[in-house]
Structure 1
Amino acid sequence: MARKSWIQRENKRQKLEQKYHSSRQFSKKKIKQSKAVPLSESKLKEIYRRLQSLPRNSSPIRLHRRCFLTGRPRANYRDFGLSGHILREMVFECLLPGATRSSW
């Protein structure tokens, strides 16, 4: 099991990312448009300042996928949302239809 504090921190990051998603996308869209149609330097600086004033944890790149059952941050499979060893245990217990066991 992962530490409860780490899981709570990850949940907080997800909420922040959802809260500031639209403002971050709006600022990025304006910056991308400014490359096609140049803006004045002061307006461009204002857009960058607004983007940088957002909380650091609201960035989607800081989110980390965790196992649905255990909270483990590594070896996660996107299709199932589970870590590797939990996935293997579920396959051995025939809880995942269509998945085959491998043993060597």
Structure 2
Amino acid sequence: MAKKSKIERNKQRVALVKRYAAKREALLSTANDESLPMEDRFEARLKLAELPRNANPTRIRNRCAMTGRPRAYYRKLGISRVALRDLGSRGMIPGLVKSSW
């Protein structure tokens, strides 16, 4: 089980990303639009830099929904390999059979 503080910090980051998504998108489109004057683009970059760092989507860490584990995360399932194996061993995932040889 991951530390609760890490899980909560990641939840706060997700909330910040949602809150600033529209503003960030507008500033990025302005900053990357080459038809605009360089001054406007530079000003948009400065405003983008003033946004909170945690408002950047790349700072969100994919974590297991069950345990909060940050590594070995399956995006399709939303859980880690450890949780997947545990659920599979209990027979809670249809079609998943633990192999042995």
User: What residue in structure 1 maps to residue 5 of structure 2?
Assistant: 5
User: What residue in structure 2 maps to residue 15 of structure 1?
Assistant: 15
Q: State the superposition RMSD in angstroms.
A: 1.1
1:98 match: secondary structure: coil
User: What residue in structure 1 maps to residue 44 of structure 2?
Assistant: 47
1:68 corresponds to 2:58: no
1:48, CA displacement in angstroms?
0.7
User: Are the counterparts in 1 of residues 31 and 40 from structure 2 also a CA contact under 8 Å?
Assistant: no
1:70 match: secondary structure: coil
> What stretches of structure 1 move > 3 A for 4+ residues in a row?
none
The structure 1 residue matched to 2:56, chosen from 52, 56, 59, is 59
User: Are the counterparts in 1 of residues 31 and 42 from structure 2 also a CA contact under 8 Å?
Assistant: no
Quick one: distance in 2 between partners of 1:99 and 1:75?
A: 18
> Residue by residue, what CA displacement relative to the aligned partner does 1:20-47 show, whole Å, maximum 9, x if unpaired?
0001111111223x22x1x223212211
* Code of the aligned partner of 2:43: E
Q: Percent identity?
A: 38
> Residue by residue, what CA displacement relative to the aligned partner does 1:43-83 show, whole Å, maximum 9, x if unpaired?
12211111111100110000001111111111111111111
Query: What runs of 5+ residues in structure 1 fail to find an aligned partner?
Result: none
